[in-house]
């Protein structure tokens, strides 16, 4: 699942879509929340100074409890990554 609209014909859009899909497949537990958390970190307007603040970004559609759950129980398959 992607939070971005379908990419157009712009150069690199396909590569970005493929990277995001591949990254999502590396997330083995709490994958959707971890994926949104990654987007929140990348889309924040400045340095991340608090974890609850990430849950207030527009791309993180879950509550702050899901953020902590993703960090404590989420898993990344490092070999696949």
- Residue at 1 is within a domain: no
- Residue at 22 is within a domain: no
Answer whether 0.85 is exceeded by the pTM.
Answer: no
37: exposed, middle or buried (Cβ count in 10 Å: 0-12, 13-18, 19+):
buried
Give the SS3 label for residue 49: coil
- Residue at 36 is within a domain: yes
User: Is the pLDDT higher at 11 or at 50?
Assistant: 50
- Residue at 45 is within a domain: yes
Residue 2 has pLDDT above 90, yes or no: no
pLDDT tens, 14-31? 888 899 999 999 999 999
Question: How large is the average pLDDT for residues 32-53?
Answer: 88
User: 48: pLDDT confidence band, cut at 50, 70 and 90?
Assistant: confident
Joined together, the tokens standing for residue 48 give 């991340």
Contact 20, 2 (CB under 8 A): yes
Distance (Å, rounded) from C-alpha 67 to C-alpha 72? 9
- Residue at 21 is within a domain: no
Question: How large is the average pLDDT for residues 31-49?
Answer: 89
Residue-number span of the structural domain to which 42 is assigned: 30-80
- Residue at 63 is within a domain: yes
- Residue at 58 is within a domain: yes
What is the number of domains present in the chain? Answer: 1
């Amino acid at each position: 699942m992607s939070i971005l609209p379908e990419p157009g014909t712009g150069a690199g859009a396909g590569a970005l879509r493929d990277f995001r899909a591949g990254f999502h497949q590396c997330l083995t537990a709490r994958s959707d929340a971890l994926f949104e958390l990654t987007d929140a970190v990348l889309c924040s307007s400045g340095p991340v100074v608090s974890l609850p603040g990430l849950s207030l970004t527009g791309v993180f559609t879950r509550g702050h409890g899901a953020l902590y759950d993703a960090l404590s129980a989420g898993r990344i398959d490092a070999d696949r990554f």
